[in-house]
C-alpha cells in the first residue's frame, strides 16, 4: 500500500506547525516516497531562522526540535526552580516557530528531543502549556515529544510512554520513544562506554513497543538503535546495521498480519557522519526522521569562524582598520553580521542534509 506515492506534501497538508493525524500523514508521505525529514536541534531564534530558511529553499517540510539543554539556552540566564526555565525556553521557541512557519509556507513538525526519567517534569510542564493552548486554539503547542526511558527496563519504558501518550493523544501530540541506547555523548548524557549489545535493538522489542503504543493511537515514532552514535567520530568507528529496522518491520507485519510492508515510523538518531549508503538503506526500511545536531553545530561555528577570518583586521577595535586609522568598524562588528554568516553556513549544511535524505522539493 503506497497511497501517497508521487504526491506532494502541500497537496495534502497545510503549511505551519502540524499536529495530530497530520504529523502521521506527513510520515506516511515520506515513507511512500522514500525520503526522511531532517530534524534539527535549535538553541536560539537565530538557529530557528536558519532552519526555516533551509526548509524554504529546499522546498520541503522540516522538523525543528529542542533538547532540554537547548530549551534552557532559549531562556539563558533565567534561574528558576526545577525545569521551569527550560519549560519557558521551549515555549518561547515554539511561539517563534508558530509565528513564522506558516509565513514561510512550509509544514513544520515542532518537537522536543530526549527526555529521560529525571527530566520528565520538563515534559509535564510543556504538556500543561499545550493543554492550555489547546483550550484557546484547538491545537497543541508542540507536534510531538520524545520520551527516552531507554535506561530503564523495557517494561517501565513502555508503561511510562503509554501513560504519557494517552495524555498527549487527547490534544493531538505525537510521541517518539527510544529502544536500546544511542551511543556517544550529547547534551550532557554520556553513553560512550555502554555495553555494545545495548546499541542494537531486537525486533521483539520493537514489536512490544508497537503493540503498547498502537493501543493508544497510530501517531507515534520509534527510535530503535542499530549501532548509531551521537556525535562525529573517525570513519569506521561506528558499525551501523540498518538491517535491524528491516527485520523489525517484517517481524511486526508477520505477527500482526498487517497489509502494510513498513508499519513502523523509525527515527534515526546520531546520523551525523553517516555514509550516503547507510542513510539510503535506513530510509528504505522506514526511517522518516533523521536527527541532525553535531554537523549543524559545526556549520554554525564554521560560519562565524570564516566571518572573523575574513574581516579580522576590521574587528580589532571600534575605530581604525587597514582603510585608515580613523575609519569606524561599526558595520563589521554589528552582531547581525557575525550571526548572519553563521545562519547562512548552517542553512547550507541543512540543505545538504535535505539532499542526502532525498528530501528536496517535497512540498
Phi, psi of 15 (to 5 degrees): -70, 165
* Cα atoms in the 13 Å half-sphere on the side-chain side of 153: 3
- The smaller minimum CB distance to Zn ion, of residues 130 and 182, is found at 182
Is 124 one of the annotated binding-site residues? no
Q: CA angle, corner 211, sides to 210 and 214, nearest 5? A: 75
Instruction: List, as one string, the DSSP characters of 178-198.
Output: EES--EEEETTEEETTS-GGG
Residues noted as catalytic? 113
Task: Please state, in angstroms and rounded to a whole number, the distance separating the CA atoms of residues 47 and 101.
Answer: 14
State in angstroms the smallest separation of the CB of 291 from Zn ion. 5
Choices 29-37, 135-143, 264-272, 351-359; region in contact with Zn ion by CB under 5 A: 264-272
Q: Is 291 annotated as a binding residue?
A: yes
Helix (H) or strand (E) holding 229: strand 229-230
- Given the complex with Zn ion, which of 294 and 345 has the nearer CB atom? 294
Q: Least Å distance between CB 200 and Zn ion?
A: 16
Instruction: Mark the segment that binds Zn ion (CB under 5 A) among 174-182, 245-253, 300-308, 313-321.
Output: 174-182
Identified binder of Zn ion from the candidate list 31, 96, 139, 269, rule CB under 5 A: 269
3 state SS of 163: helix
Smallest distance from Zn ion to CB 196, Å? 17
Determine whether the annotation assigns residue 98 to a binding site: no
Nearer CB in complex with Zn ion: 50/182: 182
CA distance 268 to 227: 10
Nearer to Zn ion, 182 or 345 (CB): 182
The verdict on whether residue 294 carries a ligand-binding annotation is yes
Site string for Zn ion, 283-322 (x = CB under 5 A): ----------------------------------------
Q: Among all chains, which residue has been given the C-alpha cell 570513519?
A: 235
Judged by CB under 5 A, the stretch of 15-23, 206-214, 268-276, 277-285 that binds Zn ion is: 268-276
DSSP line for 9-24: HHHHS-SEE--THHHH
The DSSP output letter for 200 is B
Interface with Zn ion: number of residues (CB under 5 A): 2
Q: Beta strand 324-328 with 174-179: parallel, antiparallel or unpaired?
A: unpaired
Shortest separation between residue 155's beta carbon and Zn ion, angstroms: 22
269 is in an annotated binding site: yes
Minimum CB separation of residue 107 from Zn ion in Å reads 22
User: HEC profile for 256-283?
Assistant: HCCCCCCCCCEEECCCCCCCHHHHHHHH
**Residues with Cβ within 8 Å of residue 339, at least 6 apart in sequence:** 46
Residues in the chain, how many?
Answer: 363
Least spacing, CB of residue 158 vs Zn ion, in Å: 19
Ligand-binding annotation for 22, yes or no, is no
Do the annotations mark residue 241 as ligand-binding?
Answer: no
Determine the Cα angle at 316 with ends 315 and 321, to 5°: 80
Stretch 200-259 residues interacting with Zn ion (CB under 5 A): none
Which range of residues in 85-93, 167-175, 176-184, 208-216 is near Zn ion by CB under 5 A?
A: 176-184
**Cβ-closest position to Zn ion:** 269
Q: Is 145 in the site for Zn ion (CB under 5 A)?
A: no
How far is residue 63's CA from residue 108's CA, in Å, rounded to a whole number?
6
Residues annotated within the binding site for dihydroxyacetone phosphate are 231, 270-272, 291-294
Residues annotated within the binding site are 114, 148, 178, 230-231, 269-272, 291-294
Residues engaged in binding Zn ion (CB under 5 A): 182, 269
Amino acid at each position: 500500500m503506497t497511497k501517497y506515492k508521487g504526491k506532494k506534501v502541500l497537496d495534502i497538508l497545510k503549511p505551519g506547525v502540524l499536529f495530530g493525524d497530520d504529523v502521521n500523514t506527513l510520515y506516511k508521505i515520506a515513507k511512500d516516497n522514500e525520503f526522511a525529514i531532517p530534524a534539527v536541534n535549535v538553541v536560539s531564534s537565530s538557529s530557528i531562522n536558519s532552519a526555516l530558511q533551509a526548509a524554504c529553499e529546499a522546498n520541503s517540510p522540516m522538523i525543528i526540535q529542542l533538547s532540554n539543554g537547548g530549551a534552557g539556552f532559549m531562556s539563558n540566564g533565567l534561574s528558576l526552580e526545577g525545569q521551569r526555565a527550560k519549560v519557558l525556553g521551549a515555549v518561547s521557541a515554539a511561539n517563534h516557530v508558530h509565528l513564522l512557519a506558516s509565513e514561510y509556507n512550509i509544514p513544520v513538525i515542532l518537537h522536543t528531543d530526549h527526555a529521560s526519567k529525571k527530566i520528565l517534569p520538563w515534559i509535564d510542564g510543556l504538556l500543561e502549556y499545550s493543554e492550555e493552548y489547546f483550550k484557546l486554539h484547538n491545537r497543541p503547542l508542540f507536534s510531538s515529544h520524545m520520551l527516552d526511558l531507554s535506561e530503564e527496563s523495557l517494561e517501565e519504558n513502555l508503561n511510562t510512554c503509554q501513560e504519557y501518550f494517552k495524555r498527549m493523544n487527547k490534544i493531538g501530540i505525537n510521541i517518539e520513544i527510544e529502544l536500546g541506547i544511542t551511543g556517544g555523548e550529547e547534551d550532557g548524557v554520556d553513553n560512550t562506554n555502554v555495553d555494545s549489545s545495548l546499541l542494537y535493538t531486537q525486533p521483539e522489542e520493537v514489536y512490544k513497543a508497537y503493540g503498547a503504543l498502537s493501543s493508544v493511537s497510530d501517531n507515534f515514532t520509534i527510535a530503535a538503535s542499530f549501532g548509531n552514535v551521537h556525535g562525529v567520530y573517525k570513519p569506521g568507528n561506528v558499525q551501523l546495521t540498518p538491517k535491524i529496522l528491516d527485520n523489525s518491520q517484517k517481524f511486526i507485519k508477520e505477527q500482526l498480519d498487517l497489509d502494510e510492508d513498513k508499519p513502523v515510523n523509525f527515527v534515526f538518531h546520531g546520523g551525523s557522519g553517516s555514509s550516503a549508503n547507510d542513510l539510503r538503506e535506513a530510509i528504505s526500511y522506514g526511517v522518516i526522521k533523521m536527527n541532525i545536531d553535531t554537523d549543524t553545530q559545526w556549520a554554525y561555528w564554521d560560519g562565524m569562524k570564516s566571518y572573523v577570518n575574513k574581516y579580522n583586521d576590521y574587528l580589532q577595535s571600534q575605530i581604525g582598520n587597514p582603510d585608515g586609522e580613523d575609519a569606524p568598524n561599526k558595520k563589521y562588528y554589528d552582531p547581525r553580521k557575525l550571526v548572519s554568516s553563521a545562519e547562512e553556513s548552517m542553512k547550507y549544511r541543512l540543505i545538504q542534509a535535505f539532499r542526502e535524505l532525498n528530501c528536496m522539493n517535497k512540498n
